[in-house]
Structure 1
């Protein structure tokens, strides 16, 4: 028998590491959500860039239900058909030769950082173990990934951190030149910093990072957990820049809402994860891989990718006009359907206020730090939903701006 639950149950029963909104969504369709009271929201948050095809997309529902009637789980002493099909599609669509499946972006990054160190130590000895990351980066919440991430607020308070991790400013090639050495195992970069403010890398920066990694025989790791699977307007953002990494991590949009992560790499690097070196009990789960295969089949088409670029322009032009009219935003930036409205000086630190006002107006948005309102909607969101959601968001902006 089901029991009625409310937001108050969170405060009574859940570990208090989150502070969720005061409403509970119960149903979704496309780019719309409805809460317990039947109130409708336009979803520009996308489960934090996860719901690549919105809610209850027919292709994903079909893939999940068909697979659920066949095979749910086997241990990694066996393989399975959905995992092999998905791996083949990812290899055929990218630079990669090999794929490792796990359950989340943090796990994909954990695998990437472990593999980078294993490769470096195997090929050059124990001294070659250092990892260089950037300030304000975000790579997950395991202890290793939160240490590589460049936001101390997430890593402070847990005791001694893993050693050999250095942080330098993002988009600053001179800082990398000063930090990199022959002891560097890997340089870890988000092509667009997501949690750090929806800040894209410059093309010259990423090309320079690639050259420095080559000079010092270090691996280049792209964290594409947030930018991957069409979010940028290409299947992966590295394709936008023409800069190829040695390791790439993917999650979020990959499963369209079903938990899955993947680490993609080259043949030469992959061989350093021999049998028994790393693993994941649920990694390559048939249900997850069947859904992710359906996501790739829908997203990796010229029509959908071109649509993402067009929708980017629709968002940016309207948000820019809002900023000009109200003075709330000093810049609108991002790539594809990962967009950040950077708050102007009088509104600095108030991203949460915009998020709260937006929910009140019937549209869900995100923040990326205290100074940026973030948008990460479905990649196939209809133009009519974009317009309706932006109408509602404009009401929220006017409310916060006191207009």
Structure 2
């Protein structure tokens, strides 16, 4: 055995003396190296490194080893193979596409497989010829459900933190936007960071918020519905209206409210009289629209002297109550109805005859217009 070892050393020294030391080169990798020594690979893909050896002495064979680092930063060297013999064939394999090429395959690479991979030939006890590559593993971003917000509702005036936490390699960027192009409260159209803080929340801040998480190999996103509870926001369509005695007039207010008001929370008030249900001359109409909106009307047919004066449109929900004033003033000329588009006087029945379908369509259309006016 000692004689064989001595012969091997002498043979290596003889080759060296003749200028025929082996050369070891990692010529081809998949994926390709992005620099002379670094390979970036996506998690779960196979990585191959081709080690080409020239002037290989007959007394030795190429070997692969892997150097990794523990949690304390201490290097750990692990043997992978000698010639084509593998230490762990569940993780590595050696192929020989040519006589002087040893191809290392790292199967379904994981972050734990990162490190420095070296192909080397030991020519003497002190002399080693080698080449190496460092493999870095890339991981697409993923959200952490435990640290990422879901749909939430808060009261107006409160503060809220919307969170979007994610991991990935390299570390992903996180950007917030609002669906529909609306501005982020106090932050413009976009905001970068894992937490979007909103203080003194107002009704206009409600809606869908989106966090988008991106790194160089992928992206993901989360949409969060932010609801806001608030007392009714009420607008009088026409704070002052005019009409001639004996003609029909509409008093109209629009409201936004969350939660939506119950029927008992809706009324018109004049002096000591409350109008919350329809009677022969007074029709009370509530029409619900999209986005927690409400059109609330008091329609007075055949206006009389006692009808002139100031009315309060009263809308109440569980958060609070809002009043808006509408004043009806006598006019010498009959004014056209907003909803019906013409003057209606002398007790005309607007719901009789062939005009019924047309009038119903006008009512629906006018309610839509009112809802759009409120949103603007």
TM-score (norm 1): 0.18
TM-score (norm 2): 0.19
Larger strand fraction of residues: 2
- Relative CO higher for 1 or 2, CA cutoff 8 Å, sep ≥ 6? 1
Larger radius of gyration: 2
Larger helix fraction of residues: 1
